[in-house]
Amino acid sequence: MNTKVAEAWVEGPLQRFVDEARVRFALLLHPNGQVLGQFGFTRAVDVMAACALAAAIHASAAQLGRELEGRPFRELYHAGRERQIFIGESSTARGPCVLLTAFDAESSLGLVQVYFREFQRALAEAAPPLELLGPPLGGEQLERDLNRSLAILFGRLQPPPAGGSSNPSA
Amino acid sequence: MTSPFEELLTRVTRLRGVLGCIVVGESDGIIVDASVQVGVEGQVVAALAAALYRRARITSEAAGLASVAFLQLEAERGHVCAAGRDGLVIVALTEARAPIGTIRAAMLQSVEALA
């Protein structure tokens, strides 16, 4: 199964991470919950829910880190009975991105961490520069962008060309 | 405070040609304790070697050969050796000319200490 992306520049790094770390699910998103790419999900509603939860968990963990250590926690790991999740932040020229991934006994936390470091480097190199910063997103604009990314991911809209932004306000 | 694995690590790393020795969790690939030379990417070696050992153990058991006693990967510029017990794996990284027989004996002796 291949990754599906809303922005072309994330495809290479995300596909390589999925192939090498042998994870079951992967979701790359903006910290505001807007999806950039995914692997393993079959329904848009699941991607939407996972993005909202991942963004909330990431924001909560970051604030907890600030309270406890004066700096945000950037990675989070949770071990379930059969599946485990890892959430990590990656910095790019287009701002921070959050990776949520779920894996089972086919992989391990050590492998996921090793390939996440490679993913961070690859994503930072692949990110095209942000030419223009648009105005801050309002609630309506944000919802439109969230829906637009989902529509691209599930084939209801054509993705923008490589290097282009999916954010019409940018 | 000394680590419970310090003696085990010293026993292996003092041998000629050993570049590092790591105790790693077999299922999570996370380092428990390690002694590696500068330049060795301990976390990367540990995670990959633990995954390799785990696969080898599952393969061996599936083939009816029982558990893996000692795993040796021979590469152009050295060896990766691994021996495990009770969810922990001892990984040794060596130069190509290292005395593998001696290292193997030391690692198997060390595995007993993991119990």
Strands (E), chain A: 4-5, 25-29, 35-39, 75-79, 84-92, 95-103
pLDDT of residue A55: 96
Interface of A with B (CB under 8 A): 105, 107-111, 113-114
Q: Determine the Cα–Cα distance for residues A52 and A34; give it in Å rounded to an integer.
A: 8
Q: Determine the Cα–Cα distance for residues A169 and B18; give it in Å rounded to an integer.
A: 57
Q: Is B48 on the interface with A (CB under 8 A)?
A: yes
pLDDT tens sequence for chain A (170 residues) = 788 999 899 999 999 999 999 999 999 999 999 999 999 999 999 999 999 999 999 999 999 999 999 999 989 999 999 999 999 999 999 999 999 999 999 999 999 999 999 999 999 999 988 765 555 566 677 778 778 888 887 777 777 665 554 444 43
Helix (H, G, I), strand (E, B) or coil at A34: coil
- Considering only CB atoms, which chain B residues are within 8 Å of A110? 24-25, 28-31, 43, 46-47, 50-51
Q: Determine the Cα–Cα distance for residues A155 and A21; give it in Å rounded to an integer.
A: 26
Nearest CA in chain A to B32: A110
**Residue from B36, B34, B21, B15 nearest B81 by CA:** B21
Q: Determine the Cα–Cα distance for residues A159 and B39; give it in Å rounded to an integer.
A: 43
Q: What pTM was estimated for this model as a whole?
A: 0.84
Write out the DSSP string of B72-86: EEEETTEEEEEEEET
Q: Nearest by CB to A108, which of B28, B31, B44?
A: B28
